[in-house]
Amino acid sequence: MIFTFSQLFAQFQLSGEFRPRAEYRHGFKNLVTDDDKAAFQISQRTRLNAGYQFENMKFGLSIQDIRLWGETPQLVAASNRMMLHQAWAEYGFNKNFAVKMGRQELVYDDARIFGNVDWAQQARTHDLALLKYEKNFKMHVGLAFNQQNDLLRTTNYDMTSNYKTLQFLWYQRKIGKLGFSMLFLNNGMEYKKIENNEDVYKTVFSQTIGTRLTYATGKTSFYGNAYYSGGKDAADRKLSAYNTMIGLDYNLENGFGLGAGWELLSGTSQKEKQLNANYTNNSFNPFYGTNHKFNGFMDYFYVGNHLNSVGLSDLYANLSYKKGKASYLITAHFFSAANDVINPSQNNELMSKGLGTEIDFSLAYKLNDFAALSAGYSQMFGTETLSVLRGGDHKATNNWAWLMVTFKPVFLK
CA-CA distance, 113 to 358, in Å (whole number)? 23
24 pairs with which residues across the strands? 40, 401
Amino acid 394: pLDDT = 96
Distance of alpha carbon 168 from alpha carbon 231, whole angstroms: 15
Q: Are 291 and 302 in contact (CB under 8 A)?
A: yes
5-412 has CATH 1.10.150.20 classification = no
DSSP per-residue codes, 291-303: GGGSS-TT--SSS
> How much is the pLDDT for 7?
56
- The Cα–Cα gap between 86 and 103 comes to 5
**Positions of the chain with pLDDT lower than 70, given as ranges:** 1-10, 77-78
What are 314's strand-pairing partners?
A: 263, 335
Which among 48, 156, 135 has a CA at the least distance from the CA of 93? Answer: 135
The 10 Å Cβ neighbour count of residue 84 is 12
What is the per-residue burial (b if ≥16 Cβ within 10 Å, else e) of 277-291?
Answer: eeeebbbbbbbbbbb
Tell me the CA end-to-end span of the chain in Å, nearest whole number: 23
Which residues are within 8 A (CB) of 412 and not within 5 positions of it... i.e. 6 or more apart? 9, 12, 13, 14
DSSP string across 47-108: EEEEEEEETTEEEEEEEEEEEETTSS-TT-S----EEEEEEEEEEESSSSEEEEEEEE----
pLDDT number for residue 1: 46
Is the whole model's pTM more than 0.85, yes or no?
yes
